[in-house]
Structure 1
């Protein structure tokens, strides 16, 4: 399998739920809300960024991208940790994405910083545990797919 290309297919359904009765007859007359659905999985209700008229209580595309980036990083980190003998007992990330909006309203992420707080067993070599983060950008599906820099600022706690 090594060296062979293997294509994967991913699909979901995005269903607009924001028709308040008159569709898009006016710009302010519809809600910026939708559901993400995939067979056999819970539906995720989403909305636009609150700065653009969205519901602040729902996930927006920017939240989802940042969460996907952090989750992919975490899953690879746990994989590499298991291989390296680093015993992780807790992992919580609070990533921050930086975006910019230009003239005309077009925007993009310009950077993201993953800030995982990793709890490891006593006796863990923290230099090894830290170095694992640097390996992930080469293999993480999401990190390899974005066009902005992804930084890492891990913190560690030791479980006694």
Structure 2
């Protein structure tokens, strides 16, 4: 039987320039994510929609969440399977579409991890782990678009 649990945070809009949302261009699309006991994350809207390109936006955060969850499960399942990982980096790509009315959505994500494994590791076994992750990854199981993996391995 599943155990249920909650995650909490606080989202606070910080973009009021003094006039609130009186005009569409009169306010900033910025906010803070506050989670008890953790650093505040300053965010903005997608730059295509008037956001600050120097700050993470919701799309960045979703992409990073998918990638990080996959990585953590890969390290866990790899360790269980005897796959010794020395380095794991990913440069994922989120594939989106926008409707003429401005509505948008992710239609897929491609993870592109570069994984350094110990010499002598069976790369077929290392690759097979990726296909098991979507059965257990909290984030991957929560989204409604495909997540592809194009892993690149290097033996040390």
Q: TM-score, normalised by structure 1?
A: 0.96
Residue 56 of structure 1 corresponds to 53
- In the alignment, the residues of structure 1 paired with residue 154 and residue 52 of structure 2 have an alpha-carbon distance, to the nearest angstrom, of 36
- In the alignment, the residues of structure 2 paired with residue 58 and residue 26 of structure 1 have an alpha-carbon distance, to the nearest angstrom, of 23
1:127 match: secondary structure: helix
Residue 72 of structure 1 corresponds to 69
Moved over 4 A (4+): none
1:86-125 equivalence runs, <5 A: 86-125=83-122
- In the alignment, the residues of structure 1 paired with residue 5 and residue 94 of structure 2 have an alpha-carbon distance, to the nearest angstrom, of 27
- In the alignment, the residues of structure 2 paired with residue 90 and residue 7 of structure 1 have an alpha-carbon distance, to the nearest angstrom, of 33
Number of aligned residues: 156
Alpha-carbon RMSD across the aligned residues, in angstroms, is 0.5
- In the alignment, the residues of structure 2 paired with residue 6 and residue 79 of structure 1 have an alpha-carbon distance, to the nearest angstrom, of 21
Question: 5+ residue gaps in structure 2?
Answer: none
Shift of 1:158: 1.1
Question: 5+ residue gaps in structure 1?
Answer: none
1:1-160 equivalence runs, <5 A: 4-159=1-156
